[in-house]
Structure formats: C-alpha cells, structure tokens
Homo-oligomer: A and B are copies of this chain.
C-alpha cells in the first residue's frame, strides 16, 4: 500500500516545562504526514484535491498513539506513514516516528472521506472514496528513481 516518509524538527515551542515535546504536537505532525501522503497519492495539493473532488476533508474518526521515548527541541525526527487499509469510505493509516533510528512514537488513525450533506450544509457526512483514489492508495507509490 501507499507509504510516505518525511523528516521534521522538534521546536522549542513544541516543548513543555518538562523540556520534552508536549505530546499533543505529535498529532499535528501526523496530520501533516497524512496530508503529504494523500497529496502524493492524488498528485495534487490538498487545496486542489478538495476542489477537484468537491469534498470537505478527511476528518479523523479515531486515532491512537503510543509514546515510547520523549523527544526534545532540536531533535530531527523521521515519520514513516503507511496506508494499512482502504475501505468503502474510510482509510486507515499508521505512523512511526523515530529519532536516531529509535522508535519514539507509534500512531494510527482512521479517516473518512467527508462531504457536505446536500440536504443540510451544516452537516458533514461520509461518501465512498472515488475508485481511482482507492486504487492508488492500495498500491505502493511509484519510486522517484
């Protein structure tokens, strides 16, 4: 299935008075990784694919994370994100965040393909993932090389 790896840096403003990352920031890091993976799979930026497919976003239905080692400001970390299941209107992803090769955090999330309810624009509802998107998410990305 589709996967993506990126690196980022833990910053001062991400850390708390214990001197380590405030754990909430990891979910922002994972959200960026998921966006990056989906942008690569769809071949468009998020701002473009929301328009192209007339959908509202891919809200998280459920997420969990295990924090195995703390990270600190200045740490360069790598985040590997992998699609692990593609359902009718949802996908499941897993994240592994490592620092110097050691696993620091494991995360997983289930996202739904969300559209505005045509009968009530204030409501959001799920819709089947378009077949060509589901197909691309089920396959490994084409190597850049």
- Nearest opposing residue in chain B for A48, CB measure: B74
Is A47 a contact partner of B72 (Cβ separation < 8 A)?
yes
Q: Could you tell me the dominant secondary structure of chain A's interface residues?
A: mixed
- Interface residues in A71-102 by Cβ distance below 8 A to B read 72-74
| Copies of this chain per assembly | 4
> A135 at interface (Cβ–Cβ under 8 A)?
no
A47 to B65, CA, bound (A): 26
Report A3-51 residues with CB < 8 Å from chain B CB. 11-13, 15-20, 22-24, 27-28, 31-32, 35, 45-48
Contact assessment for A18 and B60 in the assembled complex, using a CB-CB cutoff below 8 Å: no
Least distance between A24 CB and chain B CB atoms (Å) = 4
